[in-house]
Amino acid sequence: GWDRPKHTERNDGVVRLAIPAMVIKIVPPFLATLNRIRAECKAKVEFHFFPNMVGMNHFTISKELRRWFPGVNVYPRATYQAYMQWIAQCDLALSTFPFGGTNSTIDCFHVALPVITLEGPHIHGRSDASMMRRVGLPEWLITHSKEEYVAAALRFIDGDPLEREAIRI
């Protein structure tokens, strides 16, 4: 077995947002929604992308993501243990849409990291919501439009820190 990494609560005022998703799932409408979240939130946020890439592919996606989000953290492919330690340092995971994360969402559950998802009309956009309901995450984390997705993210980011901690699974 392996030791499950634990979340470390920090009091630096920064909310760390994990995006554990393969490159193909990181599409412009999703990135535009992240930009909207960043623009509308009151707290300072950091984006942490985990695209599972190395070499030139990692360089290329990092360069593109920095165009969208200067100063973004883009992690290279790593051992599972290292990846899980990095993700455990985040406060919230933002599931991509229209394709959800499935395996990434399960990874988040392993380190008690809450997830916000946009439940779509097709099967590839419903798996995260289904898993989140099974583990008992609050229904407000499961959204049905980009507007609801942004509102849920803002509630988490700018809301009560006690509510944030209470929904860690």
pLDDT in tens, 5-27: 887 778 898 999 999 999 999 99
Looking at residue 2, its pLDDT comes to 66
* pLDDT < 50 stretches in the chain: none
What's the whole-model pTM score? 0.94
What is the structure's pLDDT at 121? 85
Q: Decide: residue 155, CB within 10 A, 0-12 exposed, 13-18 middle, 19+ buried.
A: middle
What does the alpha-carbon distance between residue 12 and residue 131 come to, in Å, rounded to a whole number? Answer: 31
Q: What is the pLDDT of residue 94?
A: 98
DSSP output for 62-125 = HHHHHHHSTT-EEPPP--HHHHHHHHHT-SEEE--SSS--THHHHHHHHTT--EEEE--SSGGG
DSSP 8-state symbol, 159:
S
pLDDT at 1: 59
